[in-house]
Structure 1
Amino acid sequence: MILDKYGTGPDPYCDPQSGVLRNRLGLQDEAALAAAERALSSIAASRIEFAPPPYDLHALQALHRQLFGDVYDWAGELRTVDISKSGTRFCHVSRIAVEAAKIFGALAGKNWLEGLARPALVRECAVAYGDLNMVHPFREGNGRALRLLFEQIVINAGHAIDWWQVRPEAWLQANVDAVVCDYERMEAVFDRCIGAPLSE
């Protein structure tokens, strides 16, 4: 029996022999798939144009599909299995749409964070990102799709953003802390990534 990489049980997304995610490239080696996925999603990301609000789960699904459509048949589709990682259980599949709607509804109620001073923008992004990461709507590629979405949110709010300012381990710890609604490290991430107003 092949367990998924999150350790929750048999995984229909994986090849039963290799345990590697089924993919359009026919790759059976996890490292090779990861490298191909990074390369192809980077090319795809460079072709994605800015889109103004409203943003919602469907918009996030569209971004995921654009990023990973060359790699996975299920790109852009909500996952159908429950997953957990390092003791953290992500949103139950039956609650993905409901919980995502709450978060996007809150962002809409705050006018997509437009007009906020930078400290408030940092704080609101940290909370929304941390909460959406807990929803984890896709089987793989959640972080990359979310970062692309938040690029659009931050740019729409009038600021530059540069993810390369943060080390991967800092990202990981920020997401771990956000599981228990501790957003301090996530705020530090966004404080490093969000730049000056674009109008300056």
Structure 2
Amino acid sequence: MALENKLGIDDSVALAREEERISKRKAIELFEEGILGTLDAGKFSALQAIHKYLFEDIYDFAGTIRTVNISKGNFRFAPLMYLKASLENIDKMPQSTFDEIIEKYVEMNIAHPFREGNGRCTRIWLDLILKAEIGQVIDWSKIDKEDYLMAMERSPIKDIEIKHILKAALTDKINSREVYMKGIDHSYYYEGYMIFKAEELGV
């Protein structure tokens, strides 16, 4: 069953393909039009704005805090009754060092505030913080998918592994469209979607 959507698509595979095509195009706009630079790095409001921009043409819930409990495999994300308080606490977390930023990223992943599209938006949000605070971003093409997923699964208990993986992939190419696009492509790869070729997107 496909999530209810504005496109009228009821096939989950077809929806995934169209969602990727549209939201990738919107992600490019975020970068090209300088919209990311106007957001308050590290705040939930910034993540909310990213989510709304990417998915507003697809879902009514774009940019809206989820109203259901969700899980992935055996892992349950923050219970709905604690979600708002969790997001308020994340806003207050320090972010002046690499370690502090990744700790904040891990907490936002546990919160998983949206019904769909959390991973993609949170990785853009993470790079926004890194760029603002330490003048670096992640080159996601240097990160092994399985290593990343396993480290993220373990991160609520022990975050040393995810910190090591992400630190090894840091780059100072903070204004590179190519590095940004690698992050967008890998976001979909991590979440199990097919990667469209750039020419299929017309970019």
Structures share fold, TM-score greater than 0.5: yes
What SS class does the counterpart of residue 78 from structure 2 fall into? coil
Kindly report which structure 2 residues correspond to 1:88-103, keeping only aligned pairs within 5 A, or say none: 88-103=75-90
More helix by share: 2
Deviations 1:28-80 (A, max 9, x none): 21111111112211111111123353542222111100111111111110100
Q: Does 1:173 align with 2:112?
A: no
What SS class does the counterpart of residue 171 from structure 2 fall into? strand
The one-letter code of the counterpart of 2:84 is A
Kindly report which structure 2 residues correspond to 1:145-160, keeping only aligned pairs within 5 A, or say none: 145-157=121-133, 158-160=135-137
**Which residue of 2 is the match for residue 42 of structure 1?**
24
The one-letter code of the counterpart of 2:26 is A
Q: Does 1:66 align with 2:53?
A: yes
**Which residue of 1 is the match for residue 189 of structure 2?**
none
**Aligned CA distance change for structure 1 residues 151 and 81 (closer, same or farther; 3 Å):** same
Displaced runs of 4+ in structure 1, greater than 3 A?
Answer: 52-55
Of residues 160-169 and 27-36 in structure 1, the stretch that sits farther from structure 2 once superposed is 160-169
What SS class does the counterpart of residue 66 from structure 1 fall into? helix
Deviations 1:67-121 (A, max 9, x none): 11111111110100011121111111121121122122013xxxx42xx4xxxx1
Q: Is the 8 A contact 1:155 1:161 kept in 2?
A: no
Q: Does 1:125 align with 2:112?
A: no
- Give TM-score scaled by structure 2 length: 0.75
**Which residue of 2 is the match for residue 192 of structure 1?**
168
**Which residue of 1 is the match for residue 93 of structure 2?**
106
The one-letter code of the counterpart of 1:71 is I
Percent of aligned pairs with the same residue? 32
**Which residue of 2 is the match for residue 57 of structure 1?**
44
Structure 1 residue ranges without an equivalent (≥5): 1-18
**Which residue of 1 is the match for residue 68 of structure 2?**
81
Q: Which of structures 1 and 2 has the bigger CA Rg?
A: 1
Q: Is the 8 A contact 1:131 1:178 kept in 2?
A: no
- Give TM-score scaled by structure 1 length: 0.76
Q: Does 1:135 align with 2:111?
A: yes
